Structure formats: structure tokens, C-alpha cells
Amino acid sequence: MPGRLIVLSNRIPTEGPPSGGLVVALHELLAERGGLWIGAASDFADEPSETFQPVAGEERYEKATFDLTEDEHADYYLGYANSVLWPLCHHRTDLLAMERRYADGYRAVNARVARMLAQIVGPEDRIWVHDYHFLPLALELRRLGVAARVGMFLHIPFPAAADISALTESDEFYQWFAAFDLVGLQTEADVARCLDAYRRHPSGEMLLDGRVKLDGSIFKVRSFPIGIDGKTFADIAKTPPAHDPVHIRADARLILGVDRLDYSKGIPHRFRGFSTYLARRDPCSPRATLLQITPPSRESVMAYQEITRELEALSGRINGQYGEIDWTPIRFVVRSVPRETLVPLYRMASVGLVTPLADGMNLVAKEFVAAQDPDDPGVLVLSRGAGAAEQMTDALIVNPYDAEDVGDAIEKGLTMPLEERRSRHAALMEVVRNTDIFEWGNRFIDALGAVKKPAAQMRET
Ligand code: GDG
């Protein structure tokens, strides 16, 4: 009899209906298959419990949380996960915060979650671990003798070998991934970087069946490009909004950026690209306003405070240089907007600017395409640093570091003939359909079920 599905992710919806693409998709998958979803509790604990706390309110599957103290949140979550692993995987080794206590806190939280899981997991269960918050989890489970299948999906890029070597814990980093049975990455480029890193490792071995061996552990690595619920998106976009989401002059065009406030998203570079476009623009051409919607994130981490200041100064400078009494070229909005507002904005925009320096996939690119009117679609300008660029080759692909390249793409997007816009959009829509998020989830879970049982490769304690 097949075991149950156990999903572990940092964030878990504990109150009200789930919102946000991934959370909704995991909710639907669990509602269909049954199982258990575990995530971090939203309130800090004084003394963390050694058992999961059940969360009520869901009948089709179980939900539970694990505790975190305030210090653990600082070291494990803000520290190691977001000030070490996040910059590492986004090619920003210059931002690595080397604090011994971060790694200690990270290992300790993962070891505790593994101990709690070991108490409840059956040998036929499948454990699906999400993201960089839980890299040591499979290694800890194996040390406890757990033989269930354990899979990791990494939502962010897999780092290059040279970047991994900047990590104090680089040896452990290799062992952490190797202890999973299945490692899912976003793109073929991620898979290539992962294989290359293990090939270079003195104990790494490529097996004939394509799996990777490191010391006593064998794992499989594959790409599972994540997507969105495209149909629901297109349906929302077709419904006229109750009111105009933004008042843009009839003779002006809208260029839209939507990103968490994060240095990986390349927002300063984007502003400079827009500034290049403004500098060269024909004064008789329609005015274009860049609306940048930027929900704040990880505000207590220093690198995030710095980028906010940089963007405020940059948008002020560009608006001062090019603005007119009835036109502000950049509208920089540092807050999140409701989805009912976001989707009509996507649809109104002539150009969607998705120009991260590095990004696992970037779902905004797919949402923008799904929300367009196929008869009169906007143009997607997409960075080659986004995982999405591997599939969405009919977007205007740019080098996000090159302001002139971005400026040219903006110009090209704003002036693209209708026929070309339609044919590019149709091709991109095909990609969105082919990477539906529900299929993505089912594919990963089935692939995890199909891997050989790990009992034969159990590690020594
Ligand atoms: C990680 C990886 C990977 C944004 N602003 C608002 C808002 N959003 C929503 C978007 C989109 C989501 O947030 C952002 O998703 P991304 O994929 O762009 O980026 P990350 O948050 O960095 O996610 C990434 C992803 O995981 C999935 O694997 O693609 O590479 O970094 O859905 O719509 N939603 C609302 N208001 C906003 O202001 N309602």
C-alpha cells in the first residue's frame, strides 16, 4: 500500500483560505491526495517543542507546525537561509554573512525537524521538502535510520561550483543534497551546474543510470520547471475590474515591473535601462510610465535595507531629470497590491519588464503572459538570468546588466507591430500551458515515488 505524502515548506497557510500560486497549488495537491503539510509556526516559542503542533481547519489533509524561538528565527531563517544560502544561490558571494552561529542555528533547527519527522514517518511515505531552508533535512533523517523516500525541490538557482567553495560549510553542502533521493531543480542549466559541481568534487561519481554518487549516497537530479495556474489567471484577467486599477493618461503607455524588494531582481539595473530608453526617446512618441510594484521583504536584513535606499534615490533622480508637470516617468510603489488589482495591471501593460539578475524561475513572467488579451497582447521583456528564459524564448530576451540592451527592448516592445505581438504571445502562452503548476506537482510526486528505495544506501551515523 502506498504511503502518505508529507510536504515540508517554510511557509504554510495557518488561517483562512490559502493565497499565492505555490501555496494554493500545494493545498490543492494535498486536498486531492491526502497527507500532511508541515511548516514553521507564525508565532515565536520560548521553548521549542519536540513534537509538531496540529493545525485545525482543514478536513482533507492534516496540517502541523514546528516551533521556532526568536533566536532561531534570527540564525536559521534570517541568518543562514536568507543571508548565506540566498546570496550564494543568486551569485552574490560578496553578500555572504559569515557568522558561525547562523550555520549552527540552521543545523539545529533542521536536526530537530528531522527528529520530529522520524517519530511519525512510515517506510512507504514520501517526504517532499521545499527549498533552501531545509537542505540538511534528508541527511539528518538518514542518520536517524529513516528509510522513506525524501525529495527536495529547490525553487532558487543551484549555485556554480566556484560559488559553493566560498561557503565555510561547502563539504556539508554537497552531502546535504546527496542525502536526498530526488533533487528537483527549475531548469536544465541548474541541472548542468549541479552535475558539474559533483563531477568536480573529489568523491563525486556519475553512475551509468544518470544518478550521482557521493560517498555512500546516491541521488537523482532532474529539472521540473515550475509554472502557474494559467487558466485561472486568464479567467480573472478576462473579468473587467470593478474600477480602473490605475489612472494612466489616455495618451500614455504602461510598463510594469512586479517583484519582491530583493537585490536578485535587478530593479536598479531596470531603472537604469528605463532611463536609457528615456534619454533616447523621440519626444513625439507616446509617454511611457514605469510602474514598479515592490512588496517589501526580509526588511531586517541589511542588504535589503540598502537596496530600498538605492531605489528611492535612483527613481528620484530619474524622475527629476525626465519628469514633467503632468508626467512622472517612474512610479515606485513599495507595498503589495491585491491580486484583483495586479491581474488587470498585467493586462493593461504594454510591456512587462521582468529583468532579474538571477532567478530560479520567475512566476511574474508567466502570470504576465497568461493575463494578456490574445488579440492585443503586451510584450514580455525577460532577463536571460531568469530560469523562465530557458522556456520563454519568444519573449524579448535581455542582458539585465546592460542598460542599453534593456532600453532597446523597451523601445522595441512599445513599438512592436500587432502581428508580431500576437505570434510571440501565442508561443509564450503555449509554454505557460505546458508548465501548469498542478501537473508540475504531480510530476514531482510521481518521480519521487518511482525512485529506488534508499534502504540500501543508508548512511552510517
Ligand atoms: C521563488 C523564486 C520561483 C508579487 N508582488 C505581488 C504579488 N506577487 C506575487 C507574484 C508571483 C509571486 O509573488 C512572486 O513569484 P516569483 O517567482 O516572481 O519570485 P519569488 O518570490 O522570488 O519566488 C522564483 C518561485 O519561488 C517559485 O518556484 O519562480 O525564482 O525566487 O506569484 O504574482 N502578489 C500580489 N501582490 C503583489 O504586490 N497579490
Q: What is the pLDDT of residue 109?
A: 98
Q: Where does the pLDDT of residue 22 fall: very low under 50, low under 70, confident under 90, or very high at 90 and above?
A: confident
Distance, in Å, from the CA atom of 320 to the CA atom of 315, rounded to the nearest integer, reads 8
Whose CA is closest to atom 37 on ligand 1?
336
Residues 6+ apart with CB under 8 A from 202: none
Please write the tens of the pLDDT for every residue from 159-188. 999 999 999 999 999 999 999 999 999 999
Judge if 125 and 258 occupy the same domain.
no
CA 432 to chain centre: 16
SS3 331: strand
Q: What is the pLDDT of residue 137?
A: 98
Mutate to test the pocket of ligand 1, among 88, 361, 367, 382 (most ligand atoms within 8 A of CB): 361
Judge if 121 and 203 occupy the same domain.
yes
Q: Where does the pLDDT of residue 28 fall: very low under 50, low under 70, confident under 90, or very high at 90 and above?
A: confident
459, part of any domain: no
How far, in Å, are 7, 248, 291, 328, 332 from residue 287 at the CA level? 48, 10, 13, 10, 17
Judge if 168 and 255 occupy the same domain.
no
The C-alpha cell at 15 is 488561517
236, part of any domain: yes
Q: Where does the pLDDT of residue 238 fall: very low under 50, low under 70, confident under 90, or very high at 90 and above?
A: confident
Q: What is the pLDDT of residue 457?
A: 47
458, part of any domain: no
Q: Picking from 22-26, 201-205, 412-416, 426-430, which range would have the lowest pLDDT averaged per residue?
A: 22-26
pLDDT above 50: residue 459: no
Q: What is the pLDDT of residue 276?
A: 98
111, part of any domain: yes
pLDDT above 90: residue 17: no
Please report the atom of ligand 1 found closest to the CA of residue 265.
22
Q: Active-site residue numbers?
A: 155, 359
CB 203 within 8 A of CB 214: yes
Residue range 39-49: average pLDDT? 95
Place of cell 501537473: 439
pLDDT above 50: residue 461: no
311, part of any domain: yes
Q: What is the mean pLDDT of the chain?
A: 92
Distance, in Å, from the CA atom of 414 to the CA atom of 351, rounded to the nearest integer, reads 7
Q: How many domains does the chain have?
A: 2
CB 408 within 8 A of CB 142: no
Residue range 138-154: average pLDDT? 97
Q: Where does the pLDDT of residue 339 fall: very low under 50, low under 70, confident under 90, or very high at 90 and above?
A: confident
Residue range 16-45: average pLDDT? 86
Please report the atom of ligand 1 found closest to the CA of residue 228.
32
The C-alpha cell at 162 is 566556484
Residues 6+ apart with CB under 8 A from 452: 181
For residues 14 and 48, the model is more confident at 48
pLDDT above 80: residue 243: no
Judge if 260 and 185 occupy the same domain.
no
Q: What is the pLDDT of residue 431?
A: 96
Q: Where does the pLDDT of residue 282 fall: very low under 50, low under 70, confident under 90, or very high at 90 and above?
A: confident
Q: What is the pLDDT of residue 248?
A: 61
Whose CA is closest to atom 39 on ligand 1?
339
Judge if 423 and 446 occupy the same domain.
no
Q: Where does the pLDDT of residue 57 fall: very low under 50, low under 70, confident under 90, or very high at 90 and above?
A: confident
Binding-site residues, ligand 1, Cβ < 6 A: 21-22, 155-156, 226, 258, 260, 293, 295, 336-339, 342, 359-364, 367
Q: What is the pLDDT of residue 245?
A: 67
Q: Where does the pLDDT of residue 232 fall: very low under 50, low under 70, confident under 90, or very high at 90 and above?
A: confident
Please write the tens of the pLDDT for every residue from 73-122. 999 999 999 999 999 999 999 999 999 999 999 999 999 999 999 999 99
461, part of any domain: no
Q: What is the pLDDT of residue 456?
A: 42
- E runs forming strands in 207-268: 212-214, 217-223, 252-258
Please write the tens of the pLDDT for every residue from 408-442. 999 999 999 999 999 999 999 999 999 899 899 99
CATH of the domain at 85: 3.40.50.2000
Judge if 285 and 196 occupy the same domain.
no
Please report the atom of ligand 1 found closest to the CA of residue 262.
22
Judge if 100 and 13 occupy the same domain.
yes
Distance, in Å, from the CA atom of 222 to the CA atom of 219, rounded to the nearest integer, reads 10
Beta bridge partners of 53: 65
Mutate to test the pocket of ligand 1, among 260, 264, 355 (most ligand atoms within 8 A of CB): 260
Distance, in Å, from the CA atom of 246 to the CA atom of 375, rounded to the nearest integer, reads 22
293, part of any domain: yes
Mutate to test the pocket of ligand 1, among 187, 292, 364 (most ligand atoms within 8 A of CB): 364
- E runs forming strands in 327-421: 330-333, 351-354, 379-383, 396-398
CB 396 within 8 A of CB 382: yes
Place of cell 513599438: 415
Judge if 205 and 272 occupy the same domain.
no
Please report the atom of ligand 1 found closest to the CA of residue 365.
18
Among 17-21, 239-243, 364-368, the range of highest mean pLDDT:
364-368
Q: Where does the pLDDT of residue 297 fall: very low under 50, low under 70, confident under 90, or very high at 90 and above?
A: confident
Judge if 398 and 321 occupy the same domain.
yes
CB 397 within 8 A of CB 362: no
460, part of any domain: no
Judge if 147 and 214 occupy the same domain.
yes
Instruction: Give the domain range for residue 328.
Output: 230-435
The proportion of the chain whose per-residue pLDDT surpasses 70, expressed as a percent, equals: 94
Whose CA is closest to atom 34 on ligand 1?
339
Please write the tens of the pLDDT for every residue from 384-416. 999 999 999 999 999 999 999 999 999 999 999
Taken in order 306, 322, 328, 358, is the CA torsion positive or negative? negative
Distance, in Å, from the CA atom of 379 to the CA atom of 391, rounded to the nearest integer, reads 16
CB 230 within 8 A of CB 433: yes
Q: What is the pLDDT of residue 218?
A: 96
Q: What is the pLDDT of residue 301?
A: 78
How far away, in angstroms, is 238 Cα from ligand 1 center? Answer: 21
How far away, in angstroms, is 259 Cα from ligand 1 center? Answer: 7
Judge if 216 and 284 occupy the same domain.
no
Q: Where does the pLDDT of residue 306 fall: very low under 50, low under 70, confident under 90, or very high at 90 and above?
A: confident
Judge if 166 and 68 occupy the same domain.
yes
